[in-house]
């Protein structure tokens, strides 16, 4: 969709990450919620006049289908970031204008939306959030002349295989291992996997995660497929109980996960639930009586006592008060937008278009955004992104005011306190 503001055609070109995810990057396999093409537009009454031409960002997000919760949360974050940024001087005096379009959580839908943004010369960058589609879109991005930015985490493909794509959060491959790492931190002895049935790599990665868990001394007790459309999860819950599982990795979107956890608790399950990335939302799980969990978030801890995190909380409260913001999916999207902004402010191009955006992204070196990214990020022109294998570990029980951070053996991003991240080589220590 093309939006006209003040008579000027504005279409942003930040190709955002088809991530879902999760969530987990993987854990973004979730539920069906309606969504349609939206514009994250609007202005703040106190915003200063911005003289630069608009920076047009295209955001492809799954606002319907299995990952609807991820895309709808992303739309809310995009709106809040746009409004906050424009109310505080824009980027180098340029206002940002984000067009959010529903990918419908399908490969054809996502491909069509992204190709539309890529063929529109006014679009300066594209963000993508679609767990199902991105791994099948490598050919779509070959030789891209517009920067495509991962809005949250999903599979590493195509992010670490195609130049011009910029990943700054962990993908599903890491998430599969991190489930086992947090299970070890929780003291789990027998680990079951409840994984989304809608996304093929959910099951594939759970099998890899089970193999990794065995190397940590944890006994995998099998995988149960759970569907976002199922009305009852009694059978898989009883299966885990019969196998003595004291930890269940929920490799699914949080709206599915909350219903699954509720059913298992009704059946008498007393163990720990393991979550990762967009599979966890504090507000949603806080309402599940008896819920106890250990988890990992690929986006920065929203509860951290840090000025930049407080800005995020305040912006969401002011501009997207109804948006789901207490999740790694949401904070990962915010930090991706912030990285885009910092890249341009560092490069200071005389004009902002897709070429100068691409150049600016390739000037990012050892960047952590002061602890908002889990590991230092560097992009090298002509080379694909390096995989991110760090995140933040947390413990959360229903009734807690906020999650409790699990301190890493060594900070992966150089930050301290809640923003100190855990990396693959120090997990489980």
Nearest residue to 111 (alpha-carbon basis) of 130, 98, 92, 86: 130
* Mode of pairing for the β-strands spanning 147-150 and 165-166: parallel
Residues 199-238 pLDDT 10s = 777 778 888 899 999 999 999 999 999 998 999 999 999 9
Q: pLDDT category, 48, cuts 50, 70, 90?
A: low
For the cut 70, the answer to whether the pLDDT of residue 246 exceeds it is: yes
How large is the average pLDDT for residues 25-36?
36
Residue with the two structure tokens 């006994």: 219
Q: pLDDT category, 105, cuts 50, 70, 90?
A: confident
How large is the average pLDDT for residues 156-175?
89
Nearest residue to 16 (alpha-carbon basis) of 168, 199, 172: 168
Q: How high is the pLDDT of residue 130? A: 83
Of the spans 10-14, 86-90, 103-107, which averages the highest pLDDT? 86-90
Q: How high is the pLDDT of residue 129? A: 83
Q: How high is the pLDDT of residue 4? A: 28
Q: pLDDT category, 429, cuts 50, 70, 90?
A: very low
Q: Give the torsion through C-alpha atoms of 97, 66, 175, 153, to 10 deg.
A: -10
Global confidence as pTM? 0.89
Q: How high is the pLDDT of residue 205? A: 82
Q: pLDDT category, 49, cuts 50, 70, 90?
A: confident
CA 222 to CA 379: how far, in whole Å?
39
For the cut 70, the answer to whether the pLDDT of residue 269 exceeds it is: yes
Percent with pLDDT over 90 in the chain: 74
pLDDT: which is higher, 196 or 260:
260
Mean pLDDT of the chain: 88
For the cut 80, the answer to whether the pLDDT of residue 46 exceeds it is: no
Residue 79 and residue 319 in contact, taking contact as beta carbons nearer than 8 Å: yes
Residue 353 and residue 322 in contact, taking contact as beta carbons nearer than 8 Å: no
For the cut 50, the answer to whether the pLDDT of residue 1 exceeds it is: no
Q: pLDDT category, 79, cuts 50, 70, 90?
A: very high
For the cut 60, the answer to whether the pLDDT of residue 23 exceeds it is: no
Q: Taking the CA atoms of 48, 342, 162 and 25 in sequence, report the sign of the dihedral they define.
A: negative
Q: Give the torsion through C-alpha atoms of 360, 74, 106, 280, to 10 deg.
A: 120
For the cut 80, the answer to whether the pLDDT of residue 146 exceeds it is: yes
Q: Taking the CA atoms of 358, 362, 368 and 370 in sequence, report the sign of the dihedral they define.
A: negative
Nearest residue to 226 (alpha-carbon basis) of 254, 200, 198, 266: 198
Collapsing DSSP to helix, strand or coil, 341 comes out as helix
Side-chain-side CA neighbours of residue 7 (13 Å): 0
CA 389 to CA 402: how far, in whole Å?
24
Say if residue 108 is exposed, middle or buried (CB neighbours under 10 Å; 0-12, 13-18, 19+).
exposed
Q: H-helix or E-strand containing 395?
A: strand 390-397
Q: Which range is least confidently modeled, 18-22, 251-255, 284-288?
A: 18-22
Residues 322-350 pLDDT 10s = 999 999 999 999 999 999 999 999 999 99
Q: How high is the pLDDT of residue 41? A: 47
Q: How high is the pLDDT of residue 6? A: 30
For the cut 60, the answer to whether the pLDDT of residue 20 exceeds it is: no
Q: pLDDT category, 8, cuts 50, 70, 90?
A: very low
How large is the average pLDDT for residues 57-69?
89
For the cut 70, the answer to whether the pLDDT of residue 44 exceeds it is: no
In 46-169, beta strands by DSSP E:
55-61, 96-102, 125-129, 147-150, 165-166
The C-alpha angle 259, 317, 326, rounded to 5 degrees, equals 35
CA 22 to CA 66: how far, in whole Å?
12
pLDDT: which is higher, 267 or 35:
267
Residue 158 and residue 244 in contact, taking contact as beta carbons nearer than 8 Å: no
The C-alpha angle 117, 118, 123, rounded to 5 degrees, equals 60
How large is the average pLDDT for residues 384-411?
96
Q: Give the torsion through C-alpha atoms of 366, 367, 370, 371, to 10 deg.
A: -80
Residues 350-386 pLDDT 10s = 999 999 999 999 999 999 999 999 999 999 999 999 9
In 103-226, beta strands by DSSP E:
125-129, 147-150, 165-166, 190-196, 219-226
Q: How high is the pLDDT of residue 40? A: 55
């Amino acid at each position: 969709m093309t939006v006209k503001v003040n008579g000027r055609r504005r279409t942003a070109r930040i190709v955002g990450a088809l991530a879902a995810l999760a969530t987990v990057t993987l854990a973004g396999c979730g539920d069906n919620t309606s969504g349609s093409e939206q514009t994250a537009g609007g202005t703040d009454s106190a915003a200063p006049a911005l003289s630069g031409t608009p920076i047009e960002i295209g955001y492809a997000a799954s606002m319907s289908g299995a990952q609807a919760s991820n895309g709808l949360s992303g739309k809310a974050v995009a709106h809040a970031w746009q409004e906050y940024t424009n109310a505080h001087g824009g980027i180098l005096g340029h206002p940002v204008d984000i067009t959010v379009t529903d990918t419908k959580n399908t490969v054809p839908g996502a491909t069509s939306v992204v190709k539309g943004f890529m063929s529109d010369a006014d679009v300066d960058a594209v963000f993508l959030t679609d767990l199902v589609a991105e791994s099948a879109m490598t050919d779509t991005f070959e030789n891209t002349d517009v920067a495509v930015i991962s809005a949250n985490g999903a599979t590493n493909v195509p992010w670490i295989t195609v130049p011009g794509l910029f990943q700054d959060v962990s993908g599903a491959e890491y998430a599969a291992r991190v489930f086992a790492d947090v299970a070890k931190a929780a003291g789990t002895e027998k680990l079951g996997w409840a994984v989304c049935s809608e996304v093929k790599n959910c099951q594939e990665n759970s099998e890899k995660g089970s193999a990794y868990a065995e190397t940590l001394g944890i006994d995998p007790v099998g995988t149960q497929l759970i569907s976002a459309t199922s009305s009852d999860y009694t059978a898989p819950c009883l299966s885990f109980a019969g196998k003595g599982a004291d930890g269940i990795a929920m490799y699914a979107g949080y709206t599915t996960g909350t219903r699954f956890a509720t059913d298992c608790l009704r059946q008498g399950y007393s163990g720990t639930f393991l979550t990762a990335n967009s599979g966890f939302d504090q507000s949603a799980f806080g309402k599940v009586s008896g819920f106890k969990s250990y988890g990992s978030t690929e986006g920065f801890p929203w509860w951290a006592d840090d000025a930049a995190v407080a800005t995020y909380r305040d912006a969401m409260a002011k501009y997207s008060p109804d948006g789901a913001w207490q999740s790694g999916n949401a904070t990962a999207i915010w930090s991706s937008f912030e990285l885009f902004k910092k890249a341009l402010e560092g490069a200071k191009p005389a004009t902002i278009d897709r070429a100068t955006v691409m150049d600016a992204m390739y000037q990012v070196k050892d960047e952590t955004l002061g602890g908002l990214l889990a590991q230092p990020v560097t992009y090298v022109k002509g080379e694909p992104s390096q995989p991110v294998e760090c995140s933040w570990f947390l413990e959360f029980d229903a009734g807690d005011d906020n999650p409790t951070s699990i301190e890493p053996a060594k900070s992966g991003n150089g930050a301290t306190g809640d923003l100190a991240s855990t990396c693959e080589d120090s997990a489980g220590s």
